[in-house]
Chain A
Amino acid sequence: MTEPHFEREVDRSHMQVSDEVAIQIENMNKWYGQFHVLRDIDLTVQRGERIVIAGPSGSGKSTLIRCINRLEEHQQGKIIVDGIELTNDLKNIDKIRREVGMVFQHFNLFPHLTILENLTLAPIWVRKTPKKEAIETAMHFLEKVKIPEQADKYPGQLSGGQQQRVAIARSLCMMPRIMLFDEPTSALDPEMIKEVLDTMIELAEEGMTMLCVTHEMGFAQAVANRVIFMADGQIVEQNNPHDFFNNPQSDRTKQFLSQILGH
Chain B
Amino acid sequence: MSDTHAQTVAYVRETMLPQQAAPTGQSGVIKWLRENLFSGWVNTLLTLAGLYVAYSFVMHFYPWFAHGVWDANSLKECRAIITDRYGAGATGACWAMIHERWHQFLFGFYPSELYWRPVLTFALLFVAVGPLMFQWVPKKVVWFTLVFPFLAVWLLWGGSVWAPLLVLAGFVLGWIVFSFVGKFGPIAGFSAGAIVTILYFLLAVGPLIDLFHSIIPLGIEHVDSAKFGGFLLAITLGVGGIAMSLPAGIILALGRQSDMPLVKGLSIIFIEFIRGVPLITLLFVASLLLNYFLPPGTNFDIILRVMILVTMFAAAYIAEVIRGGLAALPRGQYEAADALGLDYWKAQRLVILPQALKISIPGIVSTFIGMFKDTTLVVFVGLFDPLKGIPDFIRADFNWKGIYWEPFVFVGAIFFILNFAMSRYSMHLENRLQRDNH
Contacts and interface: CB of A to CB of B under 8 A. Distances in A.
B336 interface: yes
Interface residues of A, number: 28
Given A121-B340, A122-B340, A122-B341, A106 B332 contact: yes
B335 A94 contact: no
Contact of A174 (B338, B340, B358): B340
A111 B352 CA distance: 11
B341 A174 contact: yes
B435 A94 contact: no
B103 to A, nearest CB: 46
A156 B437 CA distance: 7
Interface stretch (B12-20, B156-164, B200-208, B342-350): B342-350
Contact of B338 (A71, A111, A121, A157): A71
A126 interface: yes
Interface string A90-105: 1000100110111010
Given A112-B354, A125-B350, A102 B435 contact: no
Contacts of A112: 354-355, 358, 433, 435
Interface residues of B, number: 23
A100 B336 CA distance: 12
B437 A108 contact: no
A206 B333 CA distance: 29
B3 interface: no
Interface in A123-159: 125-126, 154, 156-157
B339 A102 contact: yes
Contact of A110 (B336, B339, B437): B336
A97 B342 CA distance: 9
Contacts of B437: 156-157
B50 to A, nearest CB: 41
A126 B336 contact: no
Contact of B333 (A90, A94, A110): A110
Query: Which of B340, B354, B355, B438 has the largest count of A CB atoms less than 10 A from its CB?
Result: B340
Interface string B355-368: 10010000000000
Contacts of A125: 342, 346, 350
A54 interface: no
A123 to B, nearest CB: 9
Nearest to A121: B350
A248 to B, nearest CB: 33
A47 interface: no
Interface in B311-352: 330, 332-333, 335-343, 346, 350-351
Contacts of A171: 339-340
Contacts of B337: 110
B84 interface: no
Given A112-B354, A112-B355, A104 B435 contact: no
Contacts of A126: 340-342, 346
A170 B343 CA distance: 17
Contacts of A109: 336
B342 A122 contact: yes
B436 interface: yes
Contacts of B438: 157
A106 B237 CA distance: 46
Query: Which of A106, A125, A171, A174 has the largest count of B CB atoms less than 10 A from its CB?
Result: A125
Contacts of A90: 343
Contacts of B436: 111, 154, 156
Interface of A: 69-71, 90, 94, 97-98, 100-102, 104, 106-112, 121-122, 125-126, 154, 156-157, 170-171, 174
In the A-B complex, the 7 residue pairs with the closest CB atoms = A108-B336, A108-B332, A122-B340, A97-B341, A102-B339, A98-B341, A126-B341
Given A108-B336, A122-B342, A125-B342, 19 more contacts: A69-B338, A69-B339, A71-B335, A71-B339, A97-B340, A101-B339, A102-B339, A104-B336, A106-B330, A108-B332, A108-B335, A110-B333, A110-B351, A112-B354, A112-B433, A121-B342, A156-B436, A171-B340, A174-B340
12 contacts: A69-B339, A97-B341, A98-B341, A110-B355, A112-B358, A112-B433, A121-B340, A122-B341, A126-B346, A154-B435, A154-B436, A156-B436
